[in-house]
Amino acid sequence: MACVEKVSVADGGRDKSREMVLIATNVRDYKDLAVMKLPRMAYDYYAMGAEDQRTVKENEEAFSRIQFRPRVLIDVSHIDMSTSVLGYNISIPIMIAPTALHKMAHPEGELASARAAATAGTIMVYKDRNLVQRLIRRAEKAGYKAIVLTVDAPCLGRREADVKNRFTLPPNVVLKNFEGVNFGNIDKVVREAKGRVPVFLDGGIRRGTDVFKALAMGASGIGRPVLFALAVDGEAGVRNALRMLKDELEVAMALCGCPSLKEITRAHVTTESDRIRRSLL
């Protein structure tokens, strides 16, 4: 996070006031900045998981245990990050993950997030279980390309932070949010999919390097929640968060010798299991 000085000039230039302004330099910073923007109840709802938070912690820590295996002497003067999702072309393999209650972060809610996704040339994944029939008909008329079905949360975990905060939905919010899938399982998921269906990941992503690791492990694309960026700076914050991840992914691809997404393979990363197997040889 960077701290810059903001100078305001008034009364013909005679009076000046100075204040220090914090700005996000990476996606993780938005979480810290959101603490100062959101009510405690809303922040904890977005930030916390169920009970001891173990899945939340593991989703992030799992990425740190994966190491890169860079390639050199490869022309990476042009990096192509474009891909397709179910036949729909997008500019980057980074989508806005299916999360609800955007209006609790910002008055423009999902509209601001969707506009930012369109500007970035990617898509916003949306899910809801209460108004599904009516929304499907509206989605078809509006030209939506796919509907994501949630199957990983038959019931919600006990979110103790919400209990302590006596969490209630604001009057303008009526949707639910569900937990993600542990990143540590992606190897098994990809193996079971056997190329028959694309695999998308939406947990633990904090850096463009995390995106690279997920792609190397077999994910077809990733989803990133943008609620903290939305809370801090609305649509502009979401655009900036997507840009940060894109720029970091571009650097990771260049350093690993991958000029396009199709060049990213399992051989570009090593996991703890890989290292244990090699030590036993």
Mean pLDDT of 124-146: 69
pLDDT at 179: 37
Closest CA to 249 of 1, 121, 81: 81
* 30 within a domain of the structure (yes/no): no
Q: What is the pLDDT of residues 227-245, one digit of tens each?
A: 999 999 999 999 999 999 9
- Enclosing domain of residue 207: 49-279
Residue predicted with more confidence, 103 or 150: 103
Residue 8 placed within a domain: no
pLDDT at 4 (0 to 100):
58
Which residue, chain included where needed, has tokens 């809303």?
42
pLDDT single digits (tens) 52-64: 888 888 888 889 9
Number of domains forming the structure of the chain: 1
Half-sphere exposure of 261 (CA within 13 A, CB side): 21
What pLDDT, on the 0 to 100 scale, is given for residue 37? 92
Say which CATH number the domain at 240 has. 3.20.20.70
Residue range 88-106: mean pLDDT, rounded: 89
Q: Choose from 145-149, 161-165, 171-175 the range with maximum mean pLDDT.
A: 161-165
Residue 22 inside a domain? The answer is no
β strands within the chain, DSSP E: 2-10, 15-23, 67-68, 83-85, 88-90, 94-96, 200-201, 221-224, 269-270
Determine, yes or no, domain membership for 44: no
pLDDT band at 101 (very low <50, low <70, confident <90, very high): confident
Between residues 140 and 246, the one the model is more confident about: 246
20 inside domain: no
28 inside domain: no
Average pLDDT score over the chain: 82
Domain assignment present for residue 82? The answer is yes
pLDDT tens by residue, 241-269 = 999 999 999 999 999 999 999 999 999 99
Of the two residues 163 and 84, the one the predictor is more confident about is 84
Higher pLDDT, 251 or 176: 251
Cα 267 versus chain centre, distance: 24
Residue 175 scores a pLDDT above 60: no
Measured CA to CA in angstroms, residue 121 lies from 51, 102, 159, 229, 263 at distances of 37, 20, 34, 18, 21
Examine residue 21 and state whether it is found in any structural domain, yes or no. no
- In the numeric block, the tokens 């999702």 are attached to 85
C-alpha distances in Å from residue 270, one per residue of 6, 137, 151: 45, 45, 30
Higher local confidence (pLDDT), 243 or 12: 243
pLDDT of residue 153: 58
Is the pLDDT at 195 greater than 90, yes or no? no
